[in-house]
Structure 1
């Protein structure tokens, strides 16, 4: 019995040991199968990701190299405007009793995105959330930010190590308009072989230039917002305006700085800057931001790069200054061209300042201002006529001669430069160093009109859509006011003569004076035409050489 019991125990131990061995074997085998399965899955997933990324890159490169830059930028502004419109519609306005029309909200979104500041709604209707949304729209639609995006597209065309000649010869089309003139004073046209040999330095220089532009963008906004906020907090009269209108100091400071730097012209108050016309310190803070964000941006950028070159001694900054035409960034100019541009800008300001003071010094728009406030206010008004559109006076009350002068200033491109005839100049070479006139123009290019022709067409169309109001209310709806509104939208300025119930020949007891622009009184068709004008003006660089096929002799 004892032997039988011992034998049974041995069998149990044997089977128990066997089961453990078998279990370990099964676990080991299962683990191996799982490892093999996960390994194969990882490889397949990696291959899928690589294939998907390759397809995305291929699509991106096809989009970048083969799609006309005009359609890229037009799509960008339309998409941003649509998203801005949806955001403005979702957020609630400040006034519960009044909700703007859907089309007027879209008009406002387009106006902010194209930095035009044409208004069909009073600014104090918008809530704090809507003001923040408009701030974002103005920022992403500003010229400096969109040019920064264009610079990133240019960088993506270059391989980090060895760019090909095709990559170097492709023009993004986000540079200055083709009509811009460059001075041939620093270097001759670069040899494409030298560019290929220095491809790595070219790539790193474009990358560094992107950081410089981005730093310029944020530093100006940070300093500008801080200074405006500091001024408002220190000056009781300015703070009283914000308190009376229910505006937050931070929102006002950031909104005003972004609008001023991007040359949009929106201000969170109904009266624009008229309510601050006695705050000369605030006006003086905004004037440099106006110039640094548009007309004087190329000289300021060049000065910033020169300072960085002297302080950091980095080779990229020297390369940028010596090869500014190869950077794919049209705001880089030669030193002489930047100097002539700055002189032209200040020359236009001086001419306007002298004429404005001579015509309006003792007029109603200057009532209540002392000598210092008149000088600063006149300077601020004339600086704004070149694309910003902020105003300290009621434009409907100034003389017609000054209005015509402002129309001319609004029409001129922001980087118009006076170049003396004794300075040797040459045109840009947008197509691999060959002059554009040597290329045979397509039929569609020959049909393109000049800028003035398009503006005349737009004015005629608006006169047609608003013909009934022009007959019934000729003092408000006259050709000069319509022309000012169209040229202001084309130049992305925002100047407007507004609408006055007092000028009605047949007084309407229900008419109420409002602070939005003259376009706010137009029909929906007229507003839609002005939306087209704003897009057209924002992308005017693509049609600056139109009309050359038309011989008027």
Structure 2
């Protein structure tokens, strides 16, 4: 009898995660490429770009979703967004649970670590709660948006509402309107509802889980460090982004709007830039300073256990706490009178470094496939490509407007970047190196090196 090599569950589940997203993008592209799914000519590369952007809940598009795809094509895109938002592993594991079959250990551990803030949570109630919360929120947002699209409660308006509800909750950034949400930059109701739907999706299920048990079920337990750190960073970034957009774009991109409209647009963009990708204004009108603010927000992204991407708010919080603790003289990273384990700091550093390196590689490949020019003649393009790379890796979907003009080479680079951003750079690094299959349990002697 032949013996198969043992594969630890984390590596197996990572392999399944990577394969499932790749397969979903490929199958989705084949569906979108069918003649009755689109109008006019659509290359397979553009179909693959759209399918990858949808299943990776990014929102970058090389064609106009509203005018290019038929009703069937839009349903395919919506299905891919829903699968990608919660994760294909979530749905497949739910199928195992509902069919009464045993869930593989790796998938079970991965889902519990992703969504459950406390140990010992049963998988079946956890999955049912996640799906119920998702469907309830999307249904509620659909009903709230329905009257905002057109006059009355028309079937066409209902589909627009449903499309934007799922796209907003999953932080996908897709719109089935010809001009997107730009016609609503002077409105209040629709942007506010969509912003709340984005927050419902990117705040993270662990936060929702804890808030529900604390406020609804009246369970007396202290707020976890995860919740306190996440909400502090989450809220702080929203306020900081809105303030900076008001300062730098109040008399440029937001010119002609009233003060309340400027406030709503600033807060909407600050919320949306952290992986949702919706925009009420044309980002090509933004100044370079504002674009760098957006790059900073897109790099951090959403909260853990959510539908969004980026390095996540807790990663940024751990890194910031480590720096502040060192400057204040603490021997170990400390936040809210709690010590952060050293392995979490190493993981945060690794994740941030891998993200930065991936962005560098993505932009390098974008420049490599473009005509060589002097920097004086391509400085703006340099920033636009950097913006596009960060947006793709963070699964955001915001763009300065260069996406439809990308060359086939550049489209391939962005497809790969979106895929890496959704699967996770750390997961792919583990998959490629096999780190999780051979944990090192020994230490080498210590020796000092000079820093700074």
Q: Are 1:450 and 2:354 counterparts?
A: yes
Distance 1:214 1:127, change over 3 A: same
Q: Deviations over 1:19-47 (max 9, x none)?
A: xxxxxxxxxxxxxxxxxxxxxxxxxxxxx
| Unmatched runs of 5 consecutive residues or more in structure 2 | 304-312, 322-333, 441-448
Q: Are 1:538 and 2:422 counterparts?
A: yes
> Match of 2:196, SS?
helix
Residues 93 and 99, structure 1, Cα contact 8 Å, conserved in 2: no
Partner of 2:77: 134
Residues 36 and 70, structure 2, Cα contact 8 Å, conserved in 1: yes
Q: Are 1:361 and 2:250 counterparts?
A: yes
Residues 94 and 125, structure 1, Cα contact 8 Å, conserved in 2: yes
Q: Are 1:408 and 2:265 counterparts?
A: no
Partner of 2:149: 232
Match of 2:166 among 258, 274, 290: 258
Distance in 1 between residues matched to 2:362 and 2:131, nearest whole Å: 36
Residues 89 and 107, structure 2, Cα contact 8 Å, conserved in 1: no
Q: Following TM superposition, by how much is the alpha carbon of 1:74 offset from its aligned partner in structure 2, in angstroms?
A: 1.1
Distance in 2 between residues matched to 1:175 and 1:107, nearest whole Å: 31
Q: Following TM superposition, by how much is the alpha carbon of 1:454 offset from its aligned partner in structure 2, in angstroms?
A: 2.2
Q: Are 1:78 and 2:78 counterparts?
A: no
Distance in 1 between residues matched to 2:150 and 2:17, nearest whole Å: 40
TM-score, normalised with respect to structure 1: 0.63
| Correspondences of 1:32-51 after superposition (within 5 Å) | none
Q: Following TM superposition, by how much is the alpha carbon of 1:476 offset from its aligned partner in structure 2, in angstroms?
A: 8.5
Distance 1:545 1:175, change over 3 A: farther
Partner of 1:206: 123
Partner of 1:69: 13
> Match of 2:392, SS?
helix
Match of 2:48 among 100, 103, 106: 106
Distance 1:343 1:234, change over 3 A: farther
Number of matched residues? Answer: 400
Partner of 1:352: 241
Q: Deviations over 1:164-214 (max 9, x none)?
A: xxx98997345668xx9x9xxx9xxx8xxxxxxxxxxx57x3322222111
Distance in 2 between residues matched to 1:476 and 1:271, nearest whole Å: 28
Q: Deviations over 1:465-510 (max 9, x none)?
A: 1135x56994586211000000000000011111xxxxxxxxxxxx
Q: Deviations over 1:222-256 (max 9, x none)?
A: 10111110333568xxx9xxx9xxx9212211111
Match of 2:134 among 209, 217, 236: 217
Residues 10 and 106, structure 2, Cα contact 8 Å, conserved in 1: no
Q: Following TM superposition, by how much is the alpha carbon of 1:372 offset from its aligned partner in structure 2, in angstroms?
A: 2.0
Distance in 2 between residues matched to 1:494 and 1:380, nearest whole Å: 15
Q: Following TM superposition, by how much is the alpha carbon of 1:159 offset from its aligned partner in structure 2, in angstroms?
A: 9.7
Distance in 2 between residues matched to 1:465 and 1:529, nearest whole Å: 9
Distance 1:525 1:175, change over 3 A: farther
Q: Are 1:172 and 2:109 counterparts?
A: yes
Distance 1:536 1:544, change over 3 A: closer
Q: Are 1:376 and 2:289 counterparts?
A: no
Distance in 2 between residues matched to 1:251 and 1:136, nearest whole Å: 13
CA RMSD of aligned residues (A): 4.1
Partner of 1:479: 382
Residues 355 and 425, structure 2, Cα contact 8 Å, conserved in 1: no
Match of 1:271 among 163, 173, 179: 179
Distance in 2 between residues matched to 1:117 and 1:170, nearest whole Å: 27
Residues 93 and 107, structure 2, Cα contact 8 Å, conserved in 1: no
Distance 1:207 1:449, change over 3 A: same
Q: Are 1:465 and 2:409 counterparts?
A: no
Distance in 1 between residues matched to 2:101 and 2:230, nearest whole Å: 34
> Match of 2:388, SS?
helix
Partner of 2:31: 87
| Unmatched runs of 5 consecutive residues or more in structure 1 | 1-58, 191-201, 311-317, 323-332, 438-445, 499-517
Distance 1:86 1:471, change over 3 A: farther
Distance in 1 between residues matched to 2:270 and 2:346, nearest whole Å: 36
> Match of 2:210, SS?
helix
Partner of 2:59: 117
Residues 9 and 106, structure 2, Cα contact 8 Å, conserved in 1: no
Distance 1:552 1:378, change over 3 A: farther
Q: Following TM superposition, by how much is the alpha carbon of 1:427 offset from its aligned partner in structure 2, in angstroms?
A: 3.8
> Match of 2:416, SS?
helix
Distance 1:397 1:429, change over 3 A: closer
Runs of 4+ that moved beyond 6 A: 153-156, 167-171, 544-549
TM-score, normalised with respect to structure 2: 0.76
Distance in 2 between residues matched to 1:481 and 1:273, nearest whole Å: 22
> Match of 2:129, SS?
helix
Match of 1:523 among 399, 407, 420: 407
Q: Deviations over 1:268-312 (max 9, x none)?
A: 1243211211221100111111011013443223222445634xx
